[in-house]
Structure 1
Amino acid sequence: MDDRPLLNRRLQGLGTTIFAEMSALAAATGSINLGQGFPDTDGPEAVREAAVRALRDGRGNQYPPGPGVPELRTAIADHQKRFYGLAFDPDTEVLVTAGATEAIAAAMLALLEPGDEVIAFEPFYDSYAACIAMAGATRVPLTLRAPDFRPDLDALRALITRRTRVLLLNSPHNPTGMVLTREEARAIAALAVEHDLLVVTDEVYEHLVFDGEHIPLISLPGMRDRTVSISSAGKTFSFTGWKVGWVTASAPLVAAVRTAKQFLTYVSSGPFQYAVAEALTLPDTYYTAFRDDLLTKRDLLATGLHDAGFTVHTPQGTYFITTDIAPLTDSDALTFCRTLPNRCGVVAVPNSVFYDHPTAGRTQVRFTFCKQQRILTEAADRLRKAFNG
């Protein structure tokens, strides 16, 4: 065997995800895990029972249709119409995926070629970097900076070159919690039209907006035929392990993404697709109560972090809070997070690993608040005792 590295050079430096590392650290130390974004309670019982019924009735126990079961594709189309007034053909303009992560991967593999450039908000969810790399393209970060993490639209315009193919956008934004305003969304859409760019939007936190509103870019003028809109059931219904995501887009874009997707998982989550179809029909009161519960938890944890001495950047959306540890330590975020469990029994995630320019997030640490209130209260108490006596 020659000296060539076993790992594809495009993936060099990516290694194990920070979520896996920190969750393993939480398990090893018995710490409260406020690092990885998964709830510690299941979603609605009616939705869970819908999955049990599907299993028992033999629906989805064998390969489901490649684009997704018709019931779910119809429910997704109905959801887009109900919340945003967007009309999609469930047969040609909706695609079910193994979570939003596969949808992003399939979109990148389908739409990009070596030499293409992808502009993405930085810090970015770690799979973005891997998916762009696997497609052989180059990521070009637009850095979002504290304290408000607003996108610099003049800087965005300056980043666009003749090699730019895709804007990969995430709003509500993980990890910062920034939510695009209507004016920002319109300006970004206008740039995409002006430069004839494709846009891939990660909207998995669409129902977790506390301040402002969620504006799907695909709804804006000129965007219907150039946007791949991605979302999932995991965050909205608190069944992250089911891995049910979807794409809505024009028929040609869905066909392109489906071509790549079929050679990734082929199909997935058979019985869960039927359950998510029922979940999407839940009344508006469910969505309102879900958001209000997370808003209460956001404020609870934000207060605790502030009292412990962190600089808190209150999020407009998602279920994450970005903090700055500079008032507490001279340490960098990664070192801080690796030592935090042994110090006080709490796990967080360093934002610095989500930047191409790590100095931009050197002292930023993310905590999740999608946990039971008593758990958040305990975590806040431990942090206060550790850092503010």
Structure 2
Amino acid sequence: MILTQITHHDLDGYGASTVAAAFAPVSRVVHVARYSDVGPVVEDELKRLRAVAAPETLLMTDLGLEEPTIAFLRRFATMNRGRAEDARHRLVVLDHHASSIDQLRRQNLEVAADPEREGLLRADLADPEVFVLIDEAHCATRMTHDQRALYAPEAASPGESAAADLATLIEAIEALDLWKKGEPAFAGGLALDEMFWDSVSTLVPASHPWHDRFVSDLLLAAAGRLRTGATPAELERRSGELRAGLVDALLADEPGDDRTLTARQRLARALARSDALFHRLSDGTLLSFGLDSGTFQRVSDQVMEAGRAKRVVNVQRAGTLSFRSIDGTALDGARAFRGGGHRDAAGGKLPQGSAHSREDAVAQVEPVLNPPPPDPSASPFAALKNWKG
């Protein structure tokens, strides 16, 4: 069964996606940075699942349940009950925020102790394939491990060494996420968190197929060092070496890879050839979404140098746009979005103020950059011409 995961864009959210990938082939992972974006993201997913004939599993981890998300849970359950019994999807929601319990009860959903899982609260959506579980005592990473039978019922156990690294990762993330400063694992959790934020957006973007593999492999490699006794300071000193080793593995089959360059420079060359990272607008502009500014600078330069496009634009979730060009049109693009700058490097702001996905960004940018031609029939003169009164 196809498994999709939607998870928070922080260490616990990526810990949860790392654990899920250890037990099941996850088809797609969506990382959500802001809880305000969860509603639009899950609505897009609901629309997709309505049109899918075969049953799938949707796993949601570490996402605080606010009103739009709870509305989605209800709509999912209603949709699912209307499907044939052998085509019903499964929804697994694993959360640990106390505020989620308040929100569920505020929305008149019954929240009670789960009869089959000690220590967990479950919201009743009147659908046996919908599991909304909350555990204030544990982080989402641990919940994803402990409740794996819900989304990966046939999962095989990882090898002894991999299981030990995974256990170390879970302990460190839980100590940090629940702020258990008195536990020995807390210092390691802080070190993991620093490495995570230094690496999560500056090397392999979230919109690239390598992203989750890279971040999960980095977290597990770091957890392995902690397990064998590395101090936080030693882990910090070895972080560059760990990242370089992962980049070597990613680029092993890449043509023209130059190992004399830095990891970021090497990755930029490979990312610039990626079709997954960009959407081509109707005027030939390539649009990317949510790239780190340094990554965008390096990759856009490589894209235009290779002749793939004359203009590139990066849209951030907060709604800012960065245009780069080699033909002086970056400023023209920025002006269309109430912005300015240099002829080949300029910026602007989305009309709606923010974007929750690349598709959302495309829907906002395309009609502004490339407005459709006016409809002659809409002209008042055309109406007079056709009048037969």
Task: State TM-score, norm by structure 2.
Answer: 0.30
Structure number with greater CO (CA < 8 Å, separation at least 6) is: 1
Structure possessing the higher radius of gyration over alpha carbons: 2
